[in-house]
């Protein structure tokens, strides 16, 4: 069974992506959104006590094992809370949560993260978040895309996350949870985001695959080779 983690981030059209996936769900795919993850699944992942995090990973492993026995082909877990809190700094606990998720999954993962501009980049940038995730979940495939260019086209990251050539959308894409919050206008935020995008486009030190909506790129699937994803 493939396990896909869609991490958000917050205010990157995650609710829209989940709505489209639910509506046009391919056969053999199961989605766990916030209605599954937040009541009990994520409880304990952010604890400072290793034993509590271990029990949380054990609960996740039991739930995943049940899906395997039911013949589920792909599990998609989608919730921005998977990154931990990020208001004071840009997701400083992302690696901690990811390590627990990796232990619970017990296998390499396909991980998706949408990034956005306008966040406070004084001390921590997307490059640091991505490096933390990659370090906590080695051998997993990390796929990154810019939310401002994909918000109305969730079928493109969905195809990449599911390892498919394309994701068929049956109707108009809804626009859910439109945020009224204003992004940061601090020069450091703009400079930091531009530097992060340049780093991702240059290969992200081999840590992640960067999706561009205007080209065809390769992503890595779990069958042993690259797969071309049409855009």
Rounded to an integer, what distance in angstroms lies between the CA atom of residue 209 and that of residue 198? 13
Q: What is the CATH number of domain 2-229?
A: 3.40.50
Cis peptide, bond prior to residue 9, ω within 30 of zero: yes
The encoded tokens of residue 22 equal 């639910």
Residue 167 contacts by C-beta under 8 Å, 6 or more apart in sequence?
A: 24, 26, 155, 156, 158, 159
Q: State the pTM of this model.
A: 0.86
The encoded tokens of residue 135 equal 């370090």
pLDDT by 10s per residue, the chain, length 231: 999 999 989 999 999 999 999 999 999 999 999 999 887 777 788 788 889 889 989 999 999 999 999 999 999 999 998 888 877 789 998 998 899 899 999 999 999 999 999 887 678 999 999 999 999 999 999 999 999 889 889 999 999 999 998 999 988 887 776 554 455 556 666 788 999 999 999 999 999 999 987 643 433 333 333 333 333
Structural contact between residues 78 and 18, judged by C-beta atoms closer than 8 angstroms = yes
């Amino acid at each position: 069974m493939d396990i896909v983690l869609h991490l958000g981030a917050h205010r990157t059209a995650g609710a829209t992506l989940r709505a489209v996936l639910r509506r046009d769900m391919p056969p053999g795919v199961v989605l766990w959104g916030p209605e599954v993850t937040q009541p009990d699944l994520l409880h304990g992942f952010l604890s400072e006590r290793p034993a509590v995090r271990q029990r949380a990973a054990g609960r996740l492993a039991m739930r995943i094992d049940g899906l395997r026995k039911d013949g589920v082909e792909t599990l998609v877990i989608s919730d921005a809370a998977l990154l931990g809190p990020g208001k004071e700094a840009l997701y400083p606990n992302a690696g901690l949560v990811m390590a627990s998720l990796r232990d619970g999954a017990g296998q390499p993962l396909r991980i998706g993260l949408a990034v956005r501009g306008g966040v406070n980049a004084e001390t921590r940038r997307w490059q640091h978040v991505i490096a933390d995730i990659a370090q906590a979940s080695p051998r997993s495939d990390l796929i990154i895309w810019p939310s401002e260019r994909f918000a109305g086209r969730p079928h493109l990251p969905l195809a990449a996350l599911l390892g498919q050539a394309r994701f068929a959308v049956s109707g108009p894409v809804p626009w859910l949870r439109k945020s009224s919050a204003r992004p940061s206008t601090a020069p450091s935020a703009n400079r930091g985001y531009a530097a992060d995008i340049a780093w991702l486009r240059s290969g992200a030190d081999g840590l992640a695959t960067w999706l561009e909506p205007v080209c065809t790129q390769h992503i890595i699937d779990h069958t042993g080779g690259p797969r071309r994803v049409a855009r």
